[in-house]
């Protein structure tokens, strides 16, 4: 028996086939996605924090610094290639961290931009004058009508309260990597599409980040699972609408889990295959391989999903198309109709004049 490895490109391609059809909703126009990648991933001084709040560039901000996060740049490259192939206009804008607030404001106002994403982290855990972290402020700076990552206040509020729609006509957007994990679990049959969801399934999510770990744990819990949210210094058990401290050790929680999601952003963290429950599904969402299978034998029966990057990009495109259809297509169709209105009125007037002449 041993390990069964899942090819996630099958999941991604199934989603992208529909995306290629949907991007053609308005003839001559394609949805446009803008990604922001900061040249300086590190905060150099307190002046940078002050300048982010005021929007005025500092001396430090004028110094070009190479991107220190290769994973973020790789994600940007994948996004660009996939978007181009699927008929989506994609633009990568590289800006200094302290100028990002103003750049987001401009993109929000630009009617030709239909989706916005930021390649995190930008400021990391740097606190904000307005509360929370500076990256939190960036997430909330994106308009809900363009937030393809589903990380702004509106969508976070909906996710944790299991509210699936913004209103009667519009769906809420959820974070792309957590959604990619759910799509992969659907593919292997753990997440039931017939309405059963994750009822009766026990999961462990190792990492409680605000971008992946915590929203994923909430999504799985809202779909019926019992979720152990494991972080460096604590474990919580999450069920629909509930989160409570847990006395289990990480090893005990993982051993009890049907699904284990590994998202530790470090090459040093390695989970031994022997720790897994027999028949468990393991999903690696970290940029590093968090699973140590060096001692695995044929008696270690588990399903391994090593990468979700392709599915994450497909989910990103899916969110863009959803926002495009919900907020932008009606405006584009009206704009096209109004463009031809003067000509149509002129033609109608000419036909009316001809008819009058005939009657005369």
3-state secondary structure of 223: coil
Three-state SS for the chain is CCEEECCCHHHHHHHHHHHHHHCCCCCCCCCEEEEEEECCCCCCCHHHHHHHHHCCCCCHHHCCCCCCCHHHHHHHHHHHHHHHHCCCEEEEEEECHHHHHHHHHHHHHCCCCCEEEECCCCCCCCECCCCCEHHHHHHHHCCCCCECCCCCHHHHHHHHCCCCECCCCCECCCCHHHHHHHHHHHHCCCCECCCCECCCCEEEEECCCCCCHHHHHHHHHHCCCEEEEECCCCEEEEECCEEEECCCCHHHHHHCCCEEEECCCCCCCCEEHHHCCCCEEEEECCCCCCEECCCCCCCCCEEEECCCHHHHHHHHHHHHHHHHHHHHHHHHHHHHHHHHHHHHHHHHHHHHHHHHHHHC
Neighbours of 301 (CB within 10 A): 16
Which of 176, 203, 315, 322 is an active site residue? 176
Tokens of 54: 């005021």
CB-CB contact of 94 with 38 (8 Å): yes
Q: If 0-12 CB within 10 Å is exposed, 13-18 middle and 19+ buried, where does residue 355 land?
A: exposed
Closest by CA position to 147, among listed 129, 122, 170:
170
3-state secondary structure of 120: coil
3-state secondary structure of 340: helix
Determine whether 322 is an active site residue: no
Kindly list the catalytic residues: 176
């Amino acid at each position: 028996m041993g390990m069964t490895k899942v090819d996630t490109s099958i999941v991604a391609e199934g989603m992208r086939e529909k995306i290629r059809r949907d991007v053609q909703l308005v003839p001559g126009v394609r949805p446009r996605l803008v990604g922001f990648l900061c040249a300086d991933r590190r905060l150099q001084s307190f002046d940078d924090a002050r300048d982010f709040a005021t929007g005025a560039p500092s001396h430090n901000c004028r110094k070009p610094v190479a991107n220190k996060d290769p994973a973020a740049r790789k994600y940007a490259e994948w996004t660009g290639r996939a978007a181009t192939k699927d008929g989506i206009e994609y633009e990568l804008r590289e800006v200094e961290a302290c100028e990002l607030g103003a750049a987001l404001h401009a993109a929000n106002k630009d009617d030709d931009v239909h989706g916005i994403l930021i390649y995190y982290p930008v400021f990391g855990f740097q606190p904000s004058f307005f509360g929370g972290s500076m990256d939190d402020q960036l997430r909330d700076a994106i308009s809900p009508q363009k937030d393809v990552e589903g990380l702004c206040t509106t969508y976070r509020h909906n996710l944790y309260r299991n509210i699936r729609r913004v209103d009667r006509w519009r769906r809420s957007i959820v974070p792309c990597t957590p959604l990619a994990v759910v799509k992969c679990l659907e593919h292997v049959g753990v997440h039931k599409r017939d309405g059963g969801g994750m009822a009766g399934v026990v999961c462990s999510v190792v990492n409680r980040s605000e971008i992946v770990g915590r929203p994923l744990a909430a999504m799985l819990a809202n779909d019926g699972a019992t979720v152990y949210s494991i972080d460096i210094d604590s474990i919580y058990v999450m069920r629909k609408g509930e989160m409570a401290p847990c006395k289990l050790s990480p090893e005990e929680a993982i051993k009890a889990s049907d699904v284990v999601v590994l998202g530790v952003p470090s090459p040093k963290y390695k989970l031994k295959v022997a720790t897994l429950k027999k028949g468990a599904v393991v999903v690696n969402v970290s940029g590093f391989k968090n699973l140590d299978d060096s001692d695995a034998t044929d008696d270690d029966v588990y399903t391994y999903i090593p990468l979700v990057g392709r599915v994450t990009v497909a989910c990103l495109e899916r969110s863009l198309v959803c926002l495009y259809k919900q907020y932008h297509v009606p405006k584009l169709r009206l704009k096209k109709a109004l463009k031809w209105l003067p000509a149509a009125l002129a033609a109608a007037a000419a036909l009316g004049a001809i008819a009058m002449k005939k009657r005369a």
